[in-house]
Chain A
Amino acid sequence: MTGTTAGRFVGQSVKRREDPRLLTGHGEYVDDVAFPGLLHAAFVRSDMARARIVSVDVTEARALPGVVAVLTAADLNHRAGPLQPTMLLHDPANAPLRPLADTDVRFVGDPVAIVVAENRYVAEDACDLVQLELDPLPAVVDFETAAGDTENLVHPEKGTNVAQESAFPLDAAWDAMVAEAAHVVTETFHQHRQTNVPMETRGIVVDFDASSGELHAWMSTQNPHEARAAIARATGVGEHLVRVTARDVGGGFGQKYFTPHDELVVALTAAHLGRAVKWIEDRRENLIASNHARVDRSTCTLALNADGHILGGYIDNLEDCGAFPVGSTGGVGPFVGMLFPGPYRMPMLRWKSTAVWTNTCGRGAYRGPWMMETVAREQLMDAAARAIGLDPLELRRRNVIHAHELPHTTAMGFEYDVVTPDETLEQAAALLDYDAFRAEQERAFREDGRLLGVGIGLYVEPSSMGSIDPLSTETATIRVQPTGKVVVSMGSGSHGQGLETTMPQVVADELGIALDDVVLVQGDTASSPFGRGTGGSGSAVIGGGACREAAQIVRAKAFEIAAHLMEAAPADLEIVDGEISVRGTPARTVAFAEVARVAHLETARLPDGLAPGLGATASYKAPPFTWSNACHVCTVELDRHTGLVRIDRYIVSEDCGVMINPMVVEGQIAGGVVQGIGGVLYEHFVYDADGNPLTTTFLDYLLPTAAEVPTIEYGHVETRSNTPGGHKGMGEGGAIGAPPAVFNAVADALALVGARVTRQPLGPAQILALLP
């Protein structure tokens, strides 16, 4: 590499470029897209969980003035290509997706017909006029008995309700280890049904021009290029003729990473009709028919020696995939097993993973999709500590991996190169003053009968997975305009992460120019190279890696041109604040902008053989895993009369390597933590025994508000990863560490009165039922 620059923007809490337009109402979300001739779609959905379709009569609906089309499976299904995501196109465990239900319906919300009308009001009127006759069948709702049910099948064509099974099974070596163990602790933990709930529901506007064969979709998506590929497959329009645009996206948390089913049906409808169609999901649809998550049961075992050192761990995980999982076939159970050791030395690991289909909304990615490994392990650590008679912090101290043990290879073969679980555990404990809290807890209980508790959630996060295509790679294109202003384009789908700010921070540093001179254009397949979208805690490492590499190529060429103009050697140059100079002789300078101008407009002055222009495209593929880690510590007080859980302190100590923008990092942590708190204490999506959803509004599905959430305290440990920028991904982590920290704190408080808890949620009713 030639020349040097000082890092000036990376590491700074730069205010976000996105904010002024979002704060003044000038963002452009999918529902803001409007143009003459745009039609509006609404779905007719099943109101039964499992039923045979006797008839769908659309006569009256089609006759309603303003209605353009009412399409059923007979109209649409034979026109559809595959509806699976790229990653899982040929996976035999796929659920049998179809655009509209044909012979039977498989969950409440399963789309049966789509209405297209001149406005949304008329479309919904027409939905009410569709006569849907269903013959109910017994629904598979309980995921714990689904596997054994051979009579009632969610997908009859599959012949079983088991979507996926895999294992690293128990064996003689395990038995021998257990026989030698001083303590063997087994517990079964349940997580309950939750859903992502982005504040902007899903939505798509599709404009298909039959004359050009071009299809333009504006969409609320985290992943424009995947959407483009999925729409191309579903509609048969060539991928090169499909454009997907997502200017602003109102949250996703995984829901909008893979292209969901309903959006593809709208694209298919628009392509079929040759008309522009908008569909904006309403909140009820988003709650019942987008995707659900977190329905898990883990039976897990820790074997420990007399000193409390872990000898081995086993986790048998069962997950509910619903009827049509989104973007994943049998869920993520194998990851739950493989990642179970987390931040601890666990010489022996065995696991089993089972995923089942049920007549409920499909499981989908939700911030840390495999996080049951942390939930089960951290809650089991506390259960083991109580069983052994050690403090949970002390048990963790005896087992946590220390810096001097790195690199550490887990029993599954994953290598931790740069992680700091020990440091974050100690930092979080110190921020709380753990011993002082224990003393206060004891005093408050003894003197006043108050129930205080403390919980820890310690984990390593496998961020920025370079092991799975197409999630592994990002490509950035940098174009330097003749004025020296820089346009970066990337296939990302920023939806709150602030990439329009953070990626320019990286590029401006690498180029040595002003931050205001760099802009990121993203969220549009027409302007960007193929890319991975935004998800999987990958933006800093992978997107940042691509931006950094492209910028280095640009800088090298700029130095080559500057060296020629100044009659110097490129290796002797440096750039500071947009001025390229010979190191040690600051008087000899040429501006980066002047170099850009020469590169485009005075090409005769370029070195012989050097191509005109200034720009570069570079791709970066991440290492298999870039591990980040964090420790969450939470203290609570339980109200013995109301059952209410109040969080008093919430501390996160995390190591995400070099932070590009600490403000954005802390914002990501906070958002994840509060989703985790909400998941344990408030949020619960409920079906009745027949598979009818009972929580279909925000009055029933309770999100945390500002009135409930604690002030989050942060600690940072910053160790460089072995990636070009030294970053580690952290976007999902808050939602991984928070649930067990909150759960353990409540369990700790309950233990004061001898009560034991293994299930969530932990609302007032559940707490009162648990208290003696």
Chain B
Amino acid sequence: MPHVEMTVNGERRHTEVEDRKTLADFLREDCGLTGTHLGCEHGVCGACTVLLDGDAVRSCLLFAVQAAGREVTTVEGIAPAGELSAVQAAFRDCHGLQCGFCTPGLVVSVTAFLADNPDPGDAEIRDALSGNLCRCTGYQGIVRAVKEAAETLSGKA
């Protein structure tokens, strides 16, 4: 089995991993980071989104070996233990989640989106969110949460 080195949520990992194992399965099974969820395993639903060197990627469409030498951030690494990031707090304030299954992917996607677009308009927000499926909320609270998080992060709120 190939030997892989990568950084996951700031922690260095040296491990052997089967070459066909997806990054999502590696994070969930080998790293015990079960916050990364699998909703479709074909790259549409976005529940498995993680940051790879800061960019949002679908961990179900990557093999773990492709993350060798890279830095991975999962939903567990978005905020210190016991705290919520601005994005996470906004999702809670705005009822941007119900069952919570799609939520980790959304939190990660929105975190990356706001890092690149600190002051997005409504259409930009909706466009950015269109890569993450949610079946519970009708996206109402999610769209509000992104606006609130953007305001918090830019110091407007």
Which residues of the partner chain A approach B117 to less than 8 Å between Cβ atoms? none
Q: Would you call B97 and A19 a contact (CB within 8 A)?
A: yes
From B51-59, B64-72, B124-132, the one touching the partner chain is B124-132
Identify A15's interface contact among B37, B93, B125, CB under 8 A. B93
From A28-36, A74-82, A227-235, A351-359, the one touching the partner chain is A28-36
Q: Does A711 contact B (CB under 8 A)?
A: yes
Q: Would you call B99 and A25 a contact (CB within 8 A)?
A: no
Contact A698 B138, CB 8 Å, known A22-B97, A498-B98:
no
How far is A356 from B34 in the complex, measured between Cα atoms in Å?
A: 42
Which residues of the partner chain A approach B39 to less than 8 Å between Cβ atoms? 199-201, 283
Q: Would you call B20 and A121 a contact (CB within 8 A)?
A: yes
Identify B135's interface contact among A32, A253, A709, A711, CB under 8 A. A253
How far is A498 from B35 in the complex, measured between Cα atoms in Å?
A: 19
Tell me the nearest residue of chain A to B38, going by C-beta: A31
Binary flags per residue of A729-751, CB closer than 8 Å to B gives 1, else 0: 00000100000000000000000
Distance (whole angstroms) from the CB of B80 to the closest CB of chain A: 10
How far is A116 from B82 in the complex, measured between Cα atoms in Å?
A: 38
Which residues of the partner chain A approach B47 to less than 8 Å between Cβ atoms? 199
Distance (whole angstroms) from the CB of A193 to the closest CB of chain B: 17
Residue from B92, B98, B131, B143 with most neighbouring chain A CB atoms (10 Å): B98
Q: Does A664 contact B (CB under 8 A)?
A: yes
Tell me the nearest residue of chain B to A669, going by C-beta: B138
Q: Would you call A496 and B99 a contact (CB within 8 A)?
A: yes
Q: Does A393 contact B (CB under 8 A)?
A: no
Identify A671's interface contact among B42, B78, B79, B137, CB under 8 A. B137
Residue from A282, A670, A697 with most neighbouring chain B CB atoms (10 Å): A670
How far is A253 from B95 in the complex, measured between Cα atoms in Å?
A: 18
List A residues 1-37 near B (Cβ within 8 Å). Answer: 15-16, 18-20, 22-29, 31-32, 34
Q: Would you call B138 and A709 a contact (CB within 8 A)?
A: yes
Distance (whole angstroms) from the CB of A223 to the closest CB of chain B: 15
Q: Would you call A24 and B98 a contact (CB within 8 A)?
A: no
Binary flags per residue of B137-151, CB closer than 8 Å to A gives 1, else 0: 111111100000000
Q: Would you call A673 and B138 a contact (CB within 8 A)?
A: yes
List B residues 60-105 near A (Cβ within 8 Å). Answer: 74-76, 78-79, 84, 88, 91-93, 95, 97-104
Q: Would you call B84 and A705 a contact (CB within 8 A)?
A: no
How far is A382 from B42 in the complex, measured between Cα atoms in Å?
A: 41
From A163-171, A243-251, A449-457, A606-614, the one touching the partner chain is A243-251
Contact A670 B107, CB 8 Å, known A22-B100, A200-B101, A707-B130:
no
Tell me the nearest residue of chain B to A697, going by C-beta: B42
Q: Does B18 contact A (CB under 8 A)?
A: yes
- Interface contacts (Cβ under 8 Å), in number, total 175
Q: Would you call A497 and B98 a contact (CB within 8 A)?
A: yes
Q: Does A667 contact B (CB under 8 A)?
A: yes
List A residues 174-218 near B (Cβ within 8 Å). Answer: 197-201
Distance (whole angstroms) from the CB of B35 to the closest CB of chain A: 2
Q: Would you call B74 and A282 a contact (CB within 8 A)?
A: no
Q: Would you call B88 and A199 a contact (CB within 8 A)?
A: no
Which residues of the partner chain A approach B100 to less than 8 Å between Cβ atoms? 18-19, 22-23, 27, 248, 250, 496
Distance (whole angstroms) from the CB of B39 to the closest CB of chain A: 5
Q: What is the interface residue range for chain B against chain A?
A: 35 or more
Distance (whole angstroms) from the CB of A756 to the closest CB of chain B: 30
Q: Would you call A671 and B136 a contact (CB within 8 A)?
A: yes
How far is A16 from B92 in the complex, measured between Cα atoms in Å?
A: 7
Binary flags per residue of A572-605, CB closer than 8 Å to B gives 1, else 0: 0000000000000000000000000000000000
How far is A544 from B101 in the complex, measured between Cα atoms in Å?
A: 25
Q: Does A411 contact B (CB under 8 A)?
A: no
Distance (whole angstroms) from the CB of B41 to the closest CB of chain A: 6
Q: Would you call A26 and B95 a contact (CB within 8 A)?
A: no
Binary flags per residue of B6-47, CB closer than 8 Å to A gives 1, else 0: 000000000000101100000011000111111111101101
Q: Does B134 contact A (CB under 8 A)?
A: yes
Tell me the nearest residue of chain A to B35, going by C-beta: A25
Which residues of the partner chain B approach A768 to less than 8 Å between Cβ atoms? none
How far is A332 from B71 in the complex, measured between Cα atoms in Å?
A: 52
How far is A31 from B41 in the complex, measured between Cα atoms in Å?
A: 14
Contact A282 B41, CB 8 Å, known A23-B88, A671-B135:
yes
Distance (whole angstroms) from the CB of A522 to the closest CB of chain B: 14
Q: What is the interface residue range for chain A against chain B?
A: 35 or more
Q: Would you call B141 and A667 a contact (CB within 8 A)?
A: yes
Tell me the nearest residue of chain A to B99, going by C-beta: A496
How far is A663 from B141 in the complex, measured between Cα atoms in Å?
A: 10
Binary flags per residue of A414-453, CB closer than 8 Å to B gives 1, else 0: 0000000000000000000000000000000000000000
Tell me the nearest residue of chain A to B128, going by C-beta: A706
Tell me the nearest residue of chain A to B90, going by C-beta: A23
Q: Would you call B34 and A25 a contact (CB within 8 A)?
A: yes
Q: Does B153 contact A (CB under 8 A)?
A: no
Q: Does A699 contact B (CB under 8 A)?
A: yes
Q: Would you call A24 and B92 a contact (CB within 8 A)?
A: no
Tell me the nearest residue of chain A to B75, going by C-beta: A25
Residue from B76, B127, B140 with most neighbouring chain A CB atoms (10 Å): B140
Q: Does A528 contact B (CB under 8 A)?
A: no
Q: Would you call A707 and B126 a contact (CB within 8 A)?
A: yes
How far is A54 from B147 in the complex, measured between Cα atoms in Å?
A: 59
Q: Would you call B76 and A26 a contact (CB within 8 A)?
A: yes
Q: Would you call A705 and B136 a contact (CB within 8 A)?
A: no
Q: Would you call A200 and B37 a contact (CB within 8 A)?
A: yes
Which residues of the partner chain A approach B33 to less than 8 Å between Cβ atoms? 25
How far is A282 from B91 in the complex, measured between Cα atoms in Å?
A: 28
How far is A670 from B99 in the complex, measured between Cα atoms in Å?
A: 14
Q: Would you call B127 and A25 a contact (CB within 8 A)?
A: no
Q: Does B133 contact A (CB under 8 A)?
A: yes
Tell me the nearest residue of chain A to B76, going by C-beta: A25
Which residues of the partner chain B approach A259 to less than 8 Å between Cβ atoms? none
Q: Would you call A20 and B40 a contact (CB within 8 A)?
A: no
Contact A496 B84, CB 8 Å, known A24-B76, A25-B34:
no
Which residues of the partner chain B approach A734 to less than 8 Å between Cβ atoms? 138
Distance (whole angstroms) from the CB of B16 to the closest CB of chain A: 15
Contact A283 B41, CB 8 Å, known A19-B97, A673-B138:
yes
Tell me the nearest residue of chain B to A663, going by C-beta: B95
Q: Does A703 contact B (CB under 8 A)?
A: yes
Binary flags per residue of A235-258, CB closer than 8 Å to B gives 1, else 0: 000000000000011110100000
Q: Would you call A709 and B139 a contact (CB within 8 A)?
A: yes
Q: Would you call A198 and B135 a contact (CB within 8 A)?
A: yes
Which residues of the partner chain A approach B40 to less than 8 Å between Cβ atoms? 283, 697-698
Distance (whole angstroms) from the CB of B61 to the closest CB of chain A: 13
Q: Would you call B36 and A19 a contact (CB within 8 A)?
A: no
How far is A670 from B45 in the complex, measured between Cα atoms in Å?
A: 19
Q: Would you call B91 and A706 a contact (CB within 8 A)?
A: no
Q: Would you call B135 and A197 a contact (CB within 8 A)?
A: yes
List A residues 282-307 near B (Cβ within 8 Å). Answer: 282-283
Distance (whole angstroms) from the CB of B84 to the closest CB of chain A: 6
Contact A674 B138, CB 8 Å, known A22-B97, A698-B45:
yes
Q: Would you call B44 and A496 a contact (CB within 8 A)?
A: no
Q: Would you call A24 and B75 a contact (CB within 8 A)?
A: yes
Q: Would you call A699 and B137 a contact (CB within 8 A)?
A: no
Identify A32's interface contact among B20, B34, B139, CB under 8 A. B34
Q: Does A360 contact B (CB under 8 A)?
A: no
Tell me the nearest residue of chain B to A664, going by C-beta: B95
Instruction: Please provide the 6 A-B residue pairs with the shortest distance between their CB atoms, ordered closest to farther.
Output: A25-B35, A250-B101, A22-B100, A674-B138, A496-B98, A496-B99
A-B contact pairs, 17 of them (CB 8 A): A19-B91, A20-B84, A22-B103, A23-B75, A23-B84, A24-B79, A27-B100, A199-B45, A200-B37, A251-B98, A283-B39, A498-B98, A670-B141, A672-B138, A698-B40, A698-B45, A705-B131
B residues whose Cβ falls under 8 Å from a Cβ of A: 18, 20-21, 28-29, 33-42, 44-45, 47, 74-76, 78-79, 84, 88, 91-93, 95, 97-104, 107, 125-127, 129-143
Query: Beyond the given A670-B137, A703-B133, could you list 10 further A-B residue pairs with CB under 8 A, ordered by the A residue number?
Result: A16-B92, A19-B97, A23-B92, A24-B88, A25-B36, A201-B39, A667-B136, A699-B44, A706-B132, A706-B143
